[in-house]
Amino acid sequence: MLLPADQPGVVAPFDDVTIELCRSNPDVMIMTADLQPYVDIFRVPKERPKQFLDVGMAEQNLLSIGAGISKAGFIPIATTFACYASRRAFDQMVICMGTGPRTCVVIGFTPGITSPARIHHQSTEDLAMTRAVPHATVIDPVDATEFTQAVRASVRQPGLVYMRGLRGTVSRLLDPEKYVFEVGKTYCLRDGGGPGIIATGAGTEWAIEVSRLLEGAGIDHALLHVPTLKPARQEEIWRFCAGRSRVFTIENHNIVGGLGGLVAEVMADHGGGPRLTRLGVPDHWAPGGSLGYIRQSLGLDAESLARRIKEAA
């Protein structure tokens, strides 16, 4: 299902999927808090104005108004930056959107270290926070193919859905003709012996770069993509880990509480397993700047990651 390297990116896939959803379902309401063009919402306000609501610069209101909208029979897709959706309005997300059966979708853009503005615009704890909410669905998509399909799936998912959003020119890694996103499912992007790499979101893109480097160096390995952090199919993760001596997780998130946390929990629940190395944002604040610079500073560039895995292999 992986496409060959260097595919052209997809421009503003969120705009495509939101107008498609609004055209096919009059109950979908696209919401934002003063970030309409910054989260790639372009056509819905013009073509379907009744299905667009900008609440102004008020993220607590975005999520609590959104919860009210859902109680009037709509399916809100509330968009803002991941840092605000999680840190700033977490109580509203949990209490207003997360305690009932109605579908409420929250999409947090520029997640993890993909914002250049240090700390306040970055979100390296959102997956840990939302993963701890009972019955929530938590998705970190890797590319335009998966993001588009996950947004389509989210409006059919009961209760709170928290998803990380991708904006601008978004990488195309998965073949839209072959890839089918399913909530909870894990995807083996490369089968093999040796070290296992488990990744999610942008971490999977980094892991694919690493995988190509390892392949070039003749190092056998396997790669599992886990877009749904919750509900996670723990047995699939365990089956991937079992029998290996080393497993690495790669994620665009603090190594605490996200994918690394999930895999550690799966192994602990099974009473052991391979040695786990969690790669991601170490438990301190990431620098600001370009993504390339931040990745390099944190040892998350492809070469550094590949070196860590080679040393262990």
Partner 1 sequence: MKGRNLSITELEHLALKMRRNVIDICMQRGGYAGQGVALADLGASLYFHEMRPDGKGWYHDVFVNSNGHDAIMCYSAFAEQGLYTMDELRTYNADGTDVDMSPCEGRRGFVITMGSLGQGPSQAAGIAYGERVRGSDKRVYCLLSDGELQEGNVWEAAMFAGHHKLDNLVFLIDNNDLQAGGNTRNILNVEPVPEKFEAFGFKARRVNGNSIPEILDAFAEARSTKGKPYAMVCDTKLFQGSPYMQTRFPTAHFVQTDMETWKAGLAELEGLIAASHADAE
Cα dihedral 57, 254, 144, 235 in deg (nearest 10): -130
Residues 6 or more apart whose CB falls under 8 angstroms from that of 307 comprise: none
Q: How many CB atoms lie within 10 A of CB 5?
A: 9
Cα dihedral 92, 95, 98, 104 in deg (nearest 10): -40
Nearer to partner 1, 55 or 128 (CB): 55
Terminal alpha carbon distance of the chain: 26
133 near partner 1, judged by CB under 8 A: no
- The one among 86, 92, 124, 204 contacting partner 1 by CB under 8 A: 92
Spatial contact of 260 and 249, defined as CB atoms under 8 Å apart: yes
Stretch of 15-23, 56-64, 80-88, 160-168 lying at the interface with partner 1 (CB under 8 A): 56-64
Closest approach, Cβ 45 to partner 1, in A, equals 14
Q: How many CB atoms lie within 10 A of CB 78?
A: 30
The values of phi and psi at residue 26, to 5°, are -70, -10
204 near partner 1, judged by CB under 8 A: no
For residue 310, give the nearest of 221, 224, 241 by alpha carbon: 221
Say how many residues touch partner 1, by CB under 8 A.
Answer: 26
Nearer to partner 1, 69 or 144 (CB): 69
**Cα 112 to Cα 103: distance, rounded to the nearest angstrom:** 25
- The one among 30, 39, 44, 65 contacting partner 1 by CB under 8 A: 65
74 near partner 1, judged by CB under 8 A: yes
- The one among 60, 234, 277, 304 contacting partner 1 by CB under 8 A: 60
73 near partner 1, judged by CB under 8 A: yes
- The one among 28, 39, 55, 138 contacting partner 1 by CB under 8 A: 55
134 near partner 1, judged by CB under 8 A: no
36 near partner 1, judged by CB under 8 A: no
34 near partner 1, judged by CB under 8 A: no
- Half-sphere exposure (CA, 13 Å, Cβ side) for 110? 19
53 near partner 1, judged by CB under 8 A: yes
**Cα 124 to Cα 140: distance, rounded to the nearest angstrom:** 12
Closest approach, Cβ 62 to partner 1, in A, equals 9
22 near partner 1, judged by CB under 8 A: no
User: What one-character-per-residue DSSP string does 63-77 give?
Assistant: HHHHHHHHHTT-EEE
Per-residue tokens: 266: 């799966």
306 near partner 1, judged by CB under 8 A: no
Closest approach, Cβ 99 to partner 1, in A, equals 4
79 near partner 1, judged by CB under 8 A: no
Chain residues that interact with partner 1, rule: CB under 8 A: 29, 50, 53, 55-56, 58, 60-61, 64-74, 91-92, 95-96, 99-101
